[in-house]
């Protein structure tokens, strides 16, 4: 009987955490001397969560930015949290939402591996950190879609 209770408790605590899936994380290659880089990925969570912060040993600061039109000019602006609705994938991609890496240590080259941790928070304010390796990748307009 005791072990039953134990397994029930275990199940409950496991279910409290959201299952967060990250697909195709990549960082756009940078020119020498460039101090910022943009990261992209697709994320889906099986529960409602928000991406509330991000960090990397490769950059001084990581923020989520959105793009918006201001008098016909595309601008970007940091957002404090990125809402993920349960089972609704969100895509961060060129010309849209992106992770902004500021104060990068070196230029990003194709094939580089860049570690990054994303911190999510659920409705109960429980935080969950997900560590991912991003790949350096060239991006050119031919592949825009």
* Residue 76 in contact with Cu ion, rule: CB under 5 A: yes
Q: Would you state the structure tokens that stand for residue 95, as one six-digit string?
A: 């010309």
The residue from 65, 66, 94, 119 that contacts Cu ion (CB under 5 A) is 65
Largest CA distance in the chain: 68
Residue numbers 88-107 binding Cu ion by CB under 5 A = 100
Question: Do 82 and 11 contact (CB within 8 A), yes or no?
Answer: no
- In 87-126 the beta strands, taken as DSSP E runs, fall at 90-92, 98-104, 113-122
What distance, in Å, lies between the first and last C-alpha atoms of the chain? 57
Tell me the window of 39-47, 73-81, 89-97, 105-113 that interacts with Cu ion (CB under 5 A): 73-81
> In the bound complex, what is the minimum distance in angstroms from residue 136's beta carbon to Cu ion?
17
Tell me the window of 50-58, 68-76, 81-89, 102-110 that interacts with Cu ion (CB under 5 A): 68-76
Q: Give the residues lining the site for Cu ion (CB under 5 A).
A: 65, 76, 100
């Amino acid at each position: 009987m005791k072990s039953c209770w134990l397994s029930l408790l275990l199940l409950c605590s496991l279910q409290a955490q959201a299952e967060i899936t990250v697909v195709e994380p990549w960082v756009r290659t940078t020119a020498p001397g460039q101090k910022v880089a943009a990261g992209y990925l697709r994320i889906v969570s099986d529960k409602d969560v928000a991406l509330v912060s991000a960090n990397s040993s490769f950059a001084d600061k990581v923020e989520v930015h959105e793009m918006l039109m201001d008098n016909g000019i595309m601008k970007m602006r940091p957002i404090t949290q990125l809402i993920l609705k349960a089972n609704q994938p969100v895509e961060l991609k060129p010309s849209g939402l992106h992770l902004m890496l500021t104060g990068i240590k070196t230029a990003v080259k194709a094939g580089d591996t860049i570690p990054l941790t994303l911190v999510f928070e659920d409705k109960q304010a429980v935080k969950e950190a997900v560590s991912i390796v991003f790949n350096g990748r060239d991006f050119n307009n031919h592949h825009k879609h």
